[in-house]
């Protein structure tokens, strides 16, 4: 099971915050053997804005 708030999920999904950092900060809680989704993130590449 993975639990987080919507803002944290968007930050993790766009790789503005890493999965590990979100877990370490307590913004994301994951339990179980297949809950590390970092292999599938970011969901899509984020374009650099200048």
Q: Does the pTM of the predicted model rise above 0.85?
A: no
Top pLDDT among 29 and 49 is at: 29
Q: Report the alpha-carbon distance of residue 9 to residue 6 in Å, rounded.
A: 5
Q: How confident is the model at residue 27 (pLDDT cuts 50, 70, 90)?
A: very high
Q: Report the alpha-carbon distance of residue 37 to residue 50 in Å, rounded.
A: 29
34 pLDDT higher than 80:
yes
Check residue 17 and give its pLDDT: 93
The mean per-residue pLDDT over the stretch 6-24 comes to 92
């Amino acid at each position: 099971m993975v639990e987080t708030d919507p803002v944290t999920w968007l930050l993790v999904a766009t790789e503005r915050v890493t999965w590990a950092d979100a877990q370490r900060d307590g913004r994301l809680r994951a339990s179980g053997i297949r809950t590390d989704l970092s292999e599938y993130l970011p969901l899509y590449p984020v374009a650099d804005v200048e």
